[in-house]
Chain A
Amino acid sequence: MRIEVTGVSLVSTWAWDIPKDSSNAEHATIQPTEVEQEEEEQESDEDEEVCGICRNRYDATCPSCEYPGSGCPIVLGLCNHNFHVHCIKQWLSTETSRGLCPLCRQGFQLRTSALINKPHYEEFQKLLMSVRQHNIPMGGELDQDMMDDGFIR
């Protein structure tokens, strides 16, 4: 029997290489198949593979992006919570955020050890600085909120 190859189509997948913190280091040796199974079992909102804000996968884009990948990287928080860079920047620019991580409410900071964070350090530092300046506690804040709270229908 002779086989003639008329064409080859290549398919590839990619994923962000997210370094686990040291406490998880032992899991690094797990066989790939086991890891996959584990991931499937965890398919839920708390799934580590989705952005904590838009709940799209890390390797997909945030809702304000068109193309996956380079245009919408993720950043790793010191608290081990990761987000699309656009999502977390948008959150930290709001006054309500008070510079806190949406998931654990600790002050959000980039992990310095992660290469993926590198291009964003400066921008985040500025962002967090301005959020902290804006966040001077005010009396009667709630009442003002309530007054502004008109319903749009």
Chain B
Amino acid sequence: MTAEPCTDFPRIAPIGLDGVIVQFGPALSEVANRAALAFCAAVERDPPEGVEEVSTSLVSTYLRFDPLFLSLEALRADLDARLTHEDWYAAPLPEGRRLLRIPTVYGGDFGPQLGEAAEAAGLSAEAAQRELSQAQVRVNAIGFAPGQPYLGTLPEAWDIPRQAGLTPKVPEGALVVAIRQFVLFSVSAPTGWRQVGRTAAPLFRPESETPFLLRPGDEVIFDSVPAEAWDRLSDDPKGGVTVEPFA
């Protein structure tokens, strides 16, 4: 994980007729993700007129705008000025982030591929579980499904590839791992990532006052709990998750 930003970045590219991304790197890195989150927060505080929505992906800030009101050229000039004015690679993460501790049952039926993932990472199953449950990871982005986080960055050993085939279905709450990231599934879905554990965290509850548990930039620890704790966790509407202010 180099802190050296690539010279071609940041760069601005249109997405369709009504969107642009400001890309901070060619691949996921801590510094590119941090820059994207910081830039997004800054644009959100002071959006150019005509911008209708801002969001982030792993390495980019996305802006959706009304192209008949605000020209791409004018928006590009505005963003260029903001990029010149500040070194976003050196910017701190936005304020208001939180630390969530999410109880997780690792291995067995709850993480059927823990052994396989550990082997790919060159670790024993016990050491793998210890590393994963002690890692403090950032919500790098939310995507694919509502409330579903991509979290990183895990230690170097976890730069393991996705499996060649797809697991036809992992359950809601499945914690999966690959390429130094976790994904925590908010819905039951097929995946090429390996399932190492399961949580009862309520990632998306549309009927609730707070429909989304996580926000981009939050920090998470997937604490290891014994399998016997599962019934209690799944009965708890909060899934045993605790939330505290972080920064």
User: Is this pair of chains taken from one and the same complex?
Assistant: no
User: Which B residues are within 8 Å of any A CB, using their own CB?
Assistant: none
